[in-house]
Structure 1
Amino acid sequence: MTPLELILILVLQFEGISGVIHFYYKPGDDAILSCDGVSSSDRVCSRVNWLYNRDLSQTFDLVQNGNVVKNSQARAARMSLDTNCSLVINITAEDAGYYTCRLSSKLDSAVLLSIITILPSPPDADPKTDGNVTLECSLLRFRSLGCRPNSIRWVNETGTVLLGEGVGYEFMGQTNCVSVLTVKRQSGHNRRYTCQVVERNKVQIEAHYTPDFTEGTSDDEPDKSNTDWSPLDYAMLTLRIAGLLLITVIVVLLIKGRGNKTPPDENNVHDDGDEVNYENVEATSAAT
């Protein structure tokens, strides 16, 4: 290991004493890594170069003379320079590491980029079923750096720090830069779990995780989106259909019965001058 590498490790281990700027982001964010020492005459960025290290084994050129290097891995399509010569990156997990802004005839400007992620384990676990899920919160950073114990913590929606074992959760501990929490997924209890990175007695960044359940599901109300029917559901449907058919038949018979009524016989009425005689009154009444 060269003396320069040893100096770099010492510089990074003692945070904040060397002008190293620390940035914390989440995947999907747009990171803006500033380049210190850029004057008004450098605004065209023609003398600005950006370099990247994930570890001390290899250095990649990201920007040369103000132009993004197109063959600088897959991240080239996600990078650009703004008017202040700052490096703009649409963040993914692979972007964590050590960045250097280098201007000709000037000292380098160092930027340390750390990225927080929360993933359920296993990642393909069904998020809409009851049961336990293990959450892994990771702080991705320059590989020569570690994480202090208890620097990655979990809190619930009320801000209570989750330690040990409690109702609906079990804290599995922190190993280097990975903190693990097992939580109970229960329909109707949509709780939120937050992973926080605490460094220099300050929360630097946090990420949230909310278990996702089938919409409309609760403990007291059945899932209306469920298409599985019970035998009772089929029996009730059959009774409704039978009742509807019975009512239809009755209505048809009533209509048909009214249509078959015999009209009064006109021959039963005799007009003898001013006197009208009605015959077969008893027969008519009986028929009615």
Structure 2
Amino acid sequence: MVDFRWTEMSFFLILVLQFTGARSRQLYYTVREGDEATLSCENVMDDQHNCDRTTWIFNYSKLQGSVELVVHGQMKNKIKSDRLSVTENCSLLIKNVTVEDVGRYTCRQFDNKPGGEQIGLDAVVYLSVVTLTQRKDTDYVIFSCSVTTRDRCTRTVKWLFKRRIVDKNHPYLRTSNSSCSATVTILADNFKQFTPHHKFFKCSVSGATDTEQPLTFNLRPSGEDTKTATTTANNLEVGTNTRGPTIDNNTTKPHGNESTMFYYNLFLYE
């Protein structure tokens, strides 16, 4: 009877360990529109030839079906094929990211037999896109910052002036905020006194998870390269600032920190 109980308990412990170790890791990437994104396949297997055991699937929303982008290492979707490629480690590279790329990306691994079955759980990546725009008319200059997400957006977007939230009583600046966008309006007559603009204005976007710190988006001086921010398998590289992607609290964390800082260039016309 004792042996039976011990065997039963051992079997239970093995099941717990298996389920704990097999959790599907979820990564969250936030990139600027127009930049590149390299989505990591966290469950990638070794001994692959041109990622022939890897398939990438895209889903824009819960109400729409999924689309196969890459099947056994080969491009499947012709519409995006000019912007998509698979890296040496089977990550998915997306060039010139647009809001249409927002969604859930699933990486699956298969055995190397014809019609092989899936091995392991899915590795899931959620991609969000930040858009910065500017508009100038006779009386005002307006900066806009917004984030597009797959599910209902819960992000908070704010414009900062000298690293602080704009004072409601500021004589020259007015701000407007919603859950996923924000604008700052500057009187055209006073616009030049805020030069260089990248030292005064920043866009702050709350993280994808409760534990993630807000992401800060700086305005770059005009003329600098606007496409230096790229995501890699286990980190996000932005100039000399490198931090890890956001991950789900309930999953194993990859190397690196949880927040990512990007630097943005907003072309301003005077």
Give TM class, smaller chain.
0.5 to 0.7
Change (3 A) 1:187 1:180: closer
What's the CA shift for 1:134? 3.0
| Matches for 1:122-133 after TM superposition, within 5 Å | 125=136, 131-133=139-141
RMSD: 2.4
Aligned to 2:86: 81
Change (3 A) 1:210 1:36: closer
Partner of 2:14: none
Whether the 8 Å contact between 2:68 and 2:77 is mirrored in structure 1 is no
Evaluate the alpha carbon distance shift between residue 89 and residue 201 of structure 1 in structure 2; reply closer, same or farther with a 3 A threshold. Answer: closer
Specify the alignment match of 2:215 in structure 1.
Answer: 204
- Note the 1:27-46 alignment, pairs <5 A: 27-42=33-48, 44-46=50-52
Question: Which residue of 62, 68, 73 maps to 2:75?
Answer: 68
User: 3-state SS of the aligned residue for 1:188?
Assistant: helix
Cα 1:112/1:207, change in 2 over 3 Å = farther
- Contact conserved, 1:187 with 1:213, CA < 8 A, in 2? no
AA matched with 1:82: T
More RCO (CA 8 Å, sep 6+): 2
User: One-letter code of the match for 1:84?
Assistant: N
The answer for unaligned runs of 5 or more in structure 2 is: 1-22, 111-118, 220-264
Q: Does 1:51 align with 2:53?
A: no
Q: Does 1:195 align with 2:195?
A: no
Corresponding letter in the other structure for 2:69: L
Q: Distance in 1 between matches of 2:69 and 2:106?
A: 10
What is the rounded CA distance, in whole Å, between the counterparts of 1:21 and 1:164 in structure 2?
A: 37
Segments of structure 1 that go 5 or more residues without pairing to the other structure are: 1-16, 215-288
* Distance apart, 1:18 and its partner CA: 6.0
Q: Which has the higher helix share?
A: 1
Q: Give the residue type in structure 2 aligned to 1:114.
A: S
Distance in 2, Cα, partners of 1:146 & 1:204: 15
Q: Write 1 or 2 for the structure with the bigger share of strand.
A: 2
Corresponding residue number in structure 2 for 1:94: 100
Which residue of structure 2 lines up, in the alignment, with residue 106 of structure 1? 120
Query: What is the TM-score normalised by the length of structure 1?
Result: 0.58
Q: After superposition, what is the alpha-carbon deviation per residue over 1:69-88, rounded to whole angstroms, capped at 9, x for unaligned?
A: 142x3x22101001100000
Report sequence identity in percent.
25
Q: Which has the larger radius of gyration?
A: 1
